[in-house]
Amino acid sequence: MYLLERINAMVREQGKAVGDSIVNVDTLLNHRIDYTFSAYAGAMLARAVRDQHIDVILTAEASGISVAVFTAMTINNEQWPHPASVVFAKKSRPITLPEGGYYVVDSYSRTKNKPVKLFLGSHVIPKGGRVFIVDDFLAQGTTLEALGDLVRMAEAEIAAFGVVLEKTFEDGRAAVAHFQAPLYSLVKVIGLEGGAIHLAPPSLS
């Protein structure tokens, strides 16, 4: 579990508490991407689903993409020659997605503090495919739930959810419990009192 301990240490060293509800990790994931951190996180998330076949790793733009890519690299080393693809839901519809050629769901961005829509081309996830949904944060669960809804629209199967940081005090797990898929988080933030980030002991669960 060395990688998991290192991931937690990096969040403790570089993360900042903003008020009593926001964790700022913009030197790791959300503004400057530390690829070592993403590689560690991807390797641990891949370990969580190592006994399953994965067809697609799905995330939302933009902060989850680097972790999703490294997750795919580890998964694909183990299930080659049947690699998983990386797909990210878009927050605006490009002209390459024609009317009738996409799925869309409503979500909410905590960091931008406003509603957003997530778009997914109807051709990028195969019907019946097994999808590992990966994201940077789990807070209230709005993004993960929206991604789960997109998978269902695509008539695919959710193999599991995986997140890098979970704010356990916001109970986001409840929002995705109805999908009946396992959820794994690497860093569990249990509080932000006193301007500090308080973490639970590292565990892949």
pLDDT tens for residues 91-112?
A: 999 999 989 999 999 998 776 6
- Domain 2-199 sits in CATH at 3.40.50.2020
Q: What is the residue extent of each domain of the chain?
A: 2-199
Structure tokens at 109: 């961005």
pLDDT at 119 over 70: yes
pLDDT band with cut points at 50, 70 and 90 for residue 114 = confident
| Strand runs labelled E in the chain | 16-18, 22-24, 56-60, 85-89, 102-109, 114-121, 130-138, 157-167, 183-191, 198-199
Least confident of 98-107, 112-121, 122-131, 144-153: 112-121
The C-alpha R_g of the chain, in whole angstroms, comes to: 16
> Which residues on neighbouring strands pair with residue 57, listed in sequence order?
86, 132
